[in-house]
A = this chain, B = another copy of it.
Amino acid sequence: MKIGQLAARANLNASAIRYYEKMGLLPSPHRSGGQRRYPSDALDRVLLIRFAGEMGFTLGEIKLFLSGLRDNAPVGPRWKKLASRKLAEVEQNIARSLKLKALLQGILHCHCASLQVCVQRLSLSPNLRSLSRRTK
């Protein structure tokens, strides 16, 4: 299979496939006249990568658990550890989003004179002091 066909089947660009290879997520396939030829199971691998990506794993993390993944290897402890860490992240994200939702609804339904009053009335100001600077 040529790269374009693989890409079409996985519904992504050929450049993404090359990128995965460069990042070490896909083994470099053998070539015919300089062009990549993929075995058919490469599609599964690509789909698995996309799936993990959709689950919020970074390419680095995916590379980590793929590197220990043989044909029919069992779901290993390394993967389980990564997955439970990711699960915690997802749960945090959910909690945070629920708070956000409540805040937005609160402000949407309020009849305060101004946004600033709203924010104060919802006791958000104290929160504000603790925000940001997260990058340091």
Contacts and interface: CB of A to CB of B under 8 A. Distances in A.
Interface residues of A, number: 57
Interface in A62-76: 69, 71-75
B115 A11 contact: no
Chain A interface, >50% SS class? helix
A112 B55 CA distance: 19
A97 B125 CA distance: 28
Contact of A55 (B79, B104, B133): B104
Nearest to A91: B101
Contact of A131 (B11, B127, B130): B11
Interface in A103-126: 103-105, 107-108, 110, 112-119, 124-125
Nearest to A86: B104
